[in-house]
Amino acid sequence: MVRCDLLRLTPLLLLGCTSKSSPTDGVNDTGVPPSATMDFSATEIQMLRTMWPLPDVTPDPTNMYAEDPWAVHLGQYLFFDEGLSSSGDVSCATCHDPSQGWSDGLKLGEGVSQVHRHSMPLFNTANNRWFFWDGRCDTQWCQAIQPIEDVAEMDSNRLRMAHYLANDESLSRAYRETFGSLPDMSSWPTDGRPVLNDPDHPDTVAWMSMTPEAQHEANIVFTNVGKAMAAFQRKIVSRDSAYDRFAEALLVEGKATDDHMSESAIRGLKLFIGEAKCHFCHAGPSFTNREFANIGLGERDWLSGGDQGRLTGIIRLLEDPFRGDGLYSDAAESSIEKLAHLSTSGEQQGQFKVPSLRSVALTAPFMHGGHFDTLEQVVRHYGEVNEYPEFGHREDLLLDVSLDDQQVEDVVTFLEALTGAPLAASLESQPESPLFTP
Amino acid sequence: MNKLFALFLLVLGCSEKESSDTGDHHHHHHGGDDTAIEDGNFTTEATTEGSTWTLQYASDPDPIVLSENFALNLNVSNAEGPASDAALTFDATMPAHEHGMNTEASVTSNGNGSFTVTGMQFHMTGHWRLHANVSSDGQAEEYAWFDVICCD
């Protein structure tokens, strides 16, 4: 354990040399010895400064409609629109239900049929670098359109979707007011998409019967729909939690107080940034490093197995025409560096997204396969690490963590304090019309 | 106990900085039994193990940002000055976790001992070690390292 303590203290080496005075230096200058819970060390203060405040949503230069109110409104309408699915009864909100923390409360998603992974909650996803559990998209609009064509999710295709917009008077007008005119689709097949690795699929055959120009026009409609949905999802932000109020009191006013978080939650925070080492991956104000990790999750009865996570995610990403550096991006140059150095070494095998923990308590069950029903089980997993991953190399860091029952409870209580203020109710259902009224 | 130890490290940390300012940068010992840190070099300059080359780097951006790609600009010199015939390979790992980066870095030689390493990324907070191997036609490969704490 000495080894680990040293590691954690190493930031002090740097801190000690900067001679910066901080507004919280006065925390312990009251003459009254603070309780152990309320006493924050310089190292802890330094760490918390990297974890608060939550900045505004990250700009997305690849989506020129990201802040466009017409796109936000149309995106919200389409997010809740079951007409986008082949069965007519599945929308994005089926698996990303606002009343279930923008997930669905199920171990595995249920679209037109069962999905092979757990539905990701959508809080603060606009800050992501990568999308899906395996990061197979690098932009939010690339993510938003894949479920439309996934056979287990909405089981539709981009041509059917385009005809659906064109044949609905309000939708086609809303599209036109946001993006400009829809193309002439009179010669397009009813259904069609390029089905990966299946040249004989009827949808592929139909797609290949189109001219490249028509395919390009269809892809523009498809990605514009994704950009509208992404613009809406940028509004799904968890902030103003009890933790935020606690951190503000501590870091701005220099006063640790249990007015906002219980003593148990405060102990949990200290464990989170200390002994439990959660912050190594759940870093920053969004509580994620926005990358991937193999946390050694074992098999489950309800999982079919064979999921290699990030490794296959990168391979799919590199084949995807809707990447941030591609033809349909509004700022291809902004994504070149991010995509240029992706590695497909063994390190990526069995890795899955490190999700944001903002409002995590609203989003059970947890992990990419719905492995755990409760946060207590999640925290115990990190304390015990008694499973072995199906693929790849488990993060060694996890083996150093050991937590007793009280510590598990404290970390869970802290995680519950990350639940943000409720979103505006107007964001949580389908608007009456896709048409935006300024 | 931890606090006392932290105080001890604070003092050590300052002496480390002072020594780096004087250019005495190689093989600092911070004490303790942590193999990852005890030979740590938290400066931006290092001499290869065979003492043939000296390396100096600057990161772009500085400071490095968690989970964002960064570049390093390196200058390699030998006793005669810039090592124009040197070749460089570069990598980074987290010694305590025995894993490397999620990205593959690329090294470009700009000539006259100047190199740019692109595609570096620290995806976890904590202690990272940058590994450099330098070689040249007439000289066997030699190793040097830098240590960085990610990220403020």
CB contact under 8 A, A3 and B34: yes
Which of B34, B66, B151 has the CB atom closest to A7's CB atom?
A: B34
* Contacts of residue B106, Cβ cutoff 8 Å, sequence gap at least 6: A341, B117, B118, B119
How many angstroms separate the CA of residue B138 from the nearest CA in chain A?
A: 32
CA A37 centroid distance within chain: 32
Interface of B with A in 57-96 (CB under 8 A): 66-67, 69, 96
Which residues of chain A neighbour B149 with C-beta distances below 8 Å?
A: 10-11, 13-14
Specify burial of residue A100 (Cβ count, 10 A radius: 0-12, 13-18, 19+): middle
Residue of chain B with shortest Cα separation from A338: B69
Whole-number Å distance between alpha carbons of A382 and A295: 8
Q: Residue B61's domain spans which residues?
A: 43-150
CB contact under 8 A, A10 and B67: no
Taking CB atoms and an 8 Å limit, are B66 and A281 in contact across chains? no
pLDDT band (50, 70, 90) for residue B12? very low
Asked if B10 lies within 8 A of A13 by C-beta distance, the reply is yes
Residues of A in contact with B11 (CB under 8 A): 16
Residue type, A410: D
Q: Interior CA angle at A214 toward A209 and A218, to 5°?
A: 105
pLDDT digits (tens, 9 = 90+) for A272-290: 999 999 999 999 999 999 9
- Written out in words, the top-level CATH class of the domain with range A69-237 is mainly alpha
Q: Is residue B7 part of a domain?
A: no
Chain B residue numbers with beta carbons less than 8 Å from the beta carbon of A393 are: 99
**pLDDT of res. A346:** 79
User: Does B27 reside within a domain?
Assistant: no
Neighbour-count burial of B1, counting CB atoms closer than 10 A to its CB (0-12 exposed, 13-18 middle, 19+ buried): exposed
- Given a cut of 80, whether residue B20 has pLDDT beyond it is no
The Cα–Cα gap between A307 and A371 comes to 14
The CB-side HSE value for A410 (13 A sphere, CA atoms) comes to 20
Residue B19 has pLDDT above 50, yes or no: no
Instruction: Extract the tokens encoding A414.
Output: 């802290």
* CA separation for the pair B39, A39 (Å, rounded): 32
**Chain A contacts of B69, Cβ < 8 Å?**
337-338, 341
Domain boundaries, chain A: 35-54+239-307+350-416, 69-237
Using CB atoms, pick whichever of A50, A280, A345 lies closest to residue B124: A280
CATH number for the domain that contains residue B130: 2.60.40.10
Task: List, in sequence order, the alpha helices (H) in A137-211.
Answer: 140-149, 158-167, 169-179, 202-208
Contact B102 A11 (CB under 8 A): no
Write out pLDDT tens, residues B102-128: 899 999 999 999 999 999 999 999 999
Q: Are B96 and B149 in contact (CB under 8 A)?
A: no
Separation of alpha carbons B70 and B62, rounded Å? 9
Backbone angles phi, psi at A339, to 5 degrees: -95, -10
Give Rg (Cα) of chain A. Answer: 23
Contact B11 A289 (CB under 8 A): no
Instruction: Mark the ranges of chain A whose per-residue pLDDT is less than 50.
Output: 1-34
Q: What is the pLDDT of residue A16?
A: 34
Do residue B10 and residue A12 have CB atoms under 8 angstroms apart? yes
Tokens 């006063």 correspond to A255
Tell the CATH topology of A35-54+239-307+350-416: Cytochrome Bc1 Complex; Chain D, domain 2 (1.10.760)
Considering the domain boundaries, does residue B5 fall inside one?
A: no
Read off the DSSP letter of residue A321: T
Question: How far separated are the first and last CA of chain A, in Å rounded?
Answer: 60
Interface contact B104-A343, CB threshold 8 A? yes
Tell me the mean pLDDT in the region B27-49: 66
Q: How many domains does chain B have?
A: 1
Please report, as a single letter, which amino acid is at residue A319.
Answer: E
**Amino acid letter, residue A109:** G
Residue A393: predicted pLDDT:
85
- Asked whether A289 and A281 are in contact (CB, 8 A), the reply is yes
Which residue of chain B is at minimal alpha-carbon distance from A284?
Answer: B66
- Is the per-residue pLDDT at B16 higher than 90? no
Backbone angles phi, psi at A66, to 5 degrees: -55, -35
Model pLDDT, residue B38: 75
**Residue B130 pLDDT exceeds 80:** yes
B86, part of any domain: yes
Tell whether B1 is covered by a domain.
no
Residue B78, domain member (yes or no)? yes
Residues of A with a Cβ under 8 Å from any B Cβ are 2-7, 9-17, 41-43, 46, 49-50, 129, 279-281, 283-284, 289-292, 337-338, 340-343, 345, 347-348, 393, 395-397
Q: Residue A97 has what DSSP assignment?
A: B
How many interchain CB pairs under 8 A, A with B? 126
Mean pLDDT for B39-48 is: 94
- The verdict on a CB contact (< 8 Å) between B149 and A347 is no
Instruction: Determine the distance in angstroms separating the CA of B60 from the nearest CA of chain A, rounded to an integer.
Output: 13
pLDDT at B24 over 90: no
What pLDDT does residue A35 have? 57
| Fold match, A35-54+239-307+350-416 / A69-237 | yes
Residues of chain A positioned with their CB less than 8 A from the CB of B101: 343
**Shortest Cα distance from B79 to chain A (angstroms)?**
31
